[in-house]
Structure 1
Amino acid sequence: MGYTDTFVSEDTKAQSKWGGLTVRRRYTKKGIHPFDVIIWENRSATISNEKGEVIFQQDNVEVPDFWSMTATNVVVSKYFHGQLGTPERETSVKQLVDRVARTFTQWGIRGG
């Protein structure tokens, strides 16, 4: 699975004809995907129990380089979709962020 580029119009007049909420660009630049300003790295997410036995592991996951291993382990183990070892399993935080952003967008469109 890959992440999806989404288009956000900066034409607030065009957006206002549909009613609802207008969201202006913040913290990003036109023409530059927000993912492209982050340095990404591949890691293994591993959680061990008190005996040192591995209870969760997913290798080769893509996360921002500034994330701690704790953040990596929590997000990968709790919030990545799909069953481990299947093609549906997310392997990148980009996929997770894209999925959540798409969901919010769909809710907004449906809700007007």
Structure 2
Amino acid sequence: MRIERRFTKQGLAGQEGAAYAEIEFRKALSEIKNPDGSVVFRLDNIDVPAQFSQVAADILAQKYFRKAGVPARLKKVEENNVPSFLWRSVADEVELAKLPEAERYGSETDARQVFDRLAGTWTYWGWKGGYFNSEEDARAFRDELAYMLATQR
């Protein structure tokens, strides 16, 4: 399958954050309360696209952010016949051991983590299934998906 870029730029392809080059992000607080005012869910200091409404930020934080078990340090796992930008990541135990135990694992706090996780997974399985004509088509697919998630298209 050939993928034509519509929202992201070819020149930025393959660079970290290429999908977000022209998207502004902001810090937000997500808080869900019961009718009696008690807090059901709270996550402070999260990064979300600036154009996201408070409702969109709350849904993203409550339903899509991984809440625990996210390693503070990652390493890529090489896989034959898979482009390096699609290699999965695992906890880097050597680097994690250098951190205080309380800082080794946490939650996702940035919408880009969610968008990259989703777009990367879908692209990885598309590559494994032989759907893309080229590595550039896979890159374009990943970047375009991440952009569309970030802009709610």
Q: Is the pair's TM-score, using the shorter chain for normalization, greater than 0.5?
A: yes
Q: Which moved more, 1:70-79 or 1:21-30?
A: 21-30
Report what 1:46 is aligned to: 31
Moved more, 69-78 or 30-39: 30-39
Letter in structure 2 aligned against 1:94: R
| Aligned residues between the structures | 92
Structure 2 counterparts to residues 48-67 of structure 1, below 5 A? 48-67=33-52
Structure with the higher helix share, 1 or 2: 2
How far has the Cα of 1:24 moved from its partner? 1.5
Does 2:120 align with 1:102?
yes
**RMSD of equivalent CA atoms:** 1.9
After superposition, the Cα gap between the structure-2 partners of 1:99 and 1:31, relative to the gap in structure 1 and judged at 3 Å, is same
How far is the alpha carbon of 1:88 from its aligned partner? 3.6
- Gapped runs of 5+ residues in structure 1? 1-20
State yes or no: 1:75 paired with 2:60: yes
Q: Determine the C-alpha separation between the residues in 2 that align with 1:64 and 1:105.
A: 22
- Structure 2: tracts of 5 or more residues without a match: 13-17, 70-101, 131-153
Higher relative contact order (CA 8 A, sep 6+): 2
State the Cα distance separating 1:106 from its structure 2 match: 1.2
TM-superposed CA distance for 1:51, in Å, is 0.5
1:46 and 1:82 map into 2 onto residues whose CA distance is 14
Measure the CA separation in 1 of the matches of 2:37 and 2:11: 47
Identity of aligned residues (%): 35
**Which among 1, 4, 8 is matched to residue 28 of structure 1?**
8
With normalisation by structure 2, the TM-score equals: 0.55
Quote the offset at 1:57 in angstroms. Answer: 0.3
Q: Tell me which moved more, 51-60 or 27-36.
A: 27-36
Deviations 1:41-72 (A, max 9, x none): 11111000110111100011000111111110
